[in-house]
Amino acid sequence: MTAKIAYDDVEVGTELPAQTFPVTRATLVRYAGASGDFNPIHWNEKFAKEVGLPDVIAHGMFTMAEAIRVVTDWAGDPGVVVEYGVRFTKPVVVPNDDKGALIEVAAKVAAKLEDNTVRVDITATSDDKKVLGMSRAVVRLA
């Protein structure tokens, strides 16, 4: 587990390259198969609306996984993520059309910590709504 980024080369405020991740209903079906989470709110529009959701929503863990990709792509190794946590603030609503939804993710180094680690604050939005709150990762750099 070795980061491509050197601790001494990183400053507080460093912005990581932002990324946008598309999510379609097919994406959700594949994720359900991989994760074993077949809750109908993630694939059945009628059920999702009956329980008060606006439409089918993406899995929370899927949203988390897409968001941390900005950090792991920047660091060069997913194994250097020491800690990662979020609060779910809004669901990613995935309409049944050719476009689906987009998860837009930005991140920046918020603090330099001990032992060559940095805290990275992550912002994830979909449809101009913040979908993850308090999204932070601690990453061990080279």
What domains sit in the chain, N to C, each tagged with a CATH number?
7-22+59-140 (3.10.129.10)
CA distance 73 to 78: 8
58-78 per-residue burial string, b: 16 or more CB within 10 A, e: under 16: bbbebbbebbbebbbebbebe
What average pLDDT does the segment 109-114 reach? 98
Q: Burial, 52: exposed, middle or buried (Cβ in 10 Å; 0-12, 13-18, 19+)?
A: exposed
Predicted local distance difference test score (pLDDT) of residue 90: 98
CA distance 60 to 58: 6
pTM over 0.85: yes
SS3 for 9?
helix
What average pLDDT does the segment 98-114 reach? 97
Which two structure tokens, joined as six digits, stand for 128?
């101009």
Predicted local distance difference test score (pLDDT) of residue 131: 98
H-helix or E-strand spanning residue 125:
strand 117-126
CB 43 within 8 A of CB 30: no
30 pLDDT band, cuts 50/70/90, is very high
2 pLDDT band, cuts 50/70/90, is confident
Predicted local distance difference test score (pLDDT) of residue 1: 73
Does the pLDDT of residue 3 top 90, yes or no?
A: no
Helix axes of 25-35 and 60-75: crossing angle, nearest 10 degrees: 90
CA triple 49-20-75, angle to 5 deg: 125
β-strands 117-126, 81-88 pairing? unpaired
Q: Which of 102, 122, 90, 130 is nearest to 20 (CA)?
A: 102
